[in-house]
Structure 1
């Protein structure tokens, strides 16, 4: 498998893991020093990220639908739709792969509908490193 194929596979796996709420897949495929940046802020560390995001994802994500994946070498962009209780959010994640695992993701989306579902305290938890 080429680097480009692996990047595309990991980007797709990332969204599919959230569709299934497969936390073990995330633990197996994110580096220990994984970093996630979103409109809410930056979370560093795989375990910190999972512990912070999983309960909120269970509350705010009703369905994810992959639209397109574009990959090159050790990076991929995945375009998907996130259906929340407040409606659909077009989203894009920029995935960076290192040594066969996901090292970093930058997420791009309008956070308004997510903010309507999460409490202010939950939202503030998404800002920490």
Structure 2
């Protein structure tokens, strides 16, 4: 049975928080496109590597709302990190054939960037 976009988004967030990168990779199409304030990536392995890097400072993801239709989902959450105050974040995903094919993330990265020095 194929997961819905909302189920895939939930699995993505849960896998990232639990640092289960094998599971997270299984949710992504090989040629997933990721665009966010800290990276632009065009394949699943680099996407997972970027999320692994962020997980070093990730404390928790506090989901506020999730809106989904047949092919996409937006998750609104507070990104809690050890580096900065919580960052309100919008994460949009497109789903095709049961896999995440596109991810667009919007948040203010200034606190994280300032902590990097």
**How far off is 1:58 after superposition?**
2.5
How many residues are treated as equivalent by the alignment? 116
- 1:101 partnered with 2:99: yes
**How far off is 1:35 after superposition?**
1.1
**Where does residue 75 of structure 2 map in the other structure?**
78
What is the CA RMSD across the aligned residues, in angstroms?
1.8
If each structure's helix is expressed as a fraction of its own residues, which one has the higher value?
Answer: 1
Whole-Å Cα distance in 2 between the matches of residues 47 and 93 of structure 1?
19
**Where does residue 11 of structure 1 map in the other structure?**
9
TM-score, normalised by the number of residues in structure 2: 0.89
CA pair 98-118 structure 1, distance change in 2 beyond 3 A: farther
**Where does residue 116 of structure 1 map in the other structure?**
114
Whole-Å Cα distance in 1 between the matches of residues 50 and 80 of structure 2?
20
> Which ranges of structure 2 fall in alignment gaps of 5 or more residues?
none
- 1:28 partnered with 2:12: no
Q: How does 1:43-58 map to 2 (within 5 A)?
A: 43-54=41-52, 56-58=53-55
- 1:63 partnered with 2:60: yes
CA pair 41-52 structure 1, distance change in 2 beyond 3 A: closer
Whole-Å Cα distance in 2 between the matches of residues 67 and 12 of structure 1?
12
> Which ranges of structure 1 fall in alignment gaps of 5 or more residues?
120-129
The runs of at least 4 consecutive aligned structure 1 residues that moved more than 2 Å come to 116-119
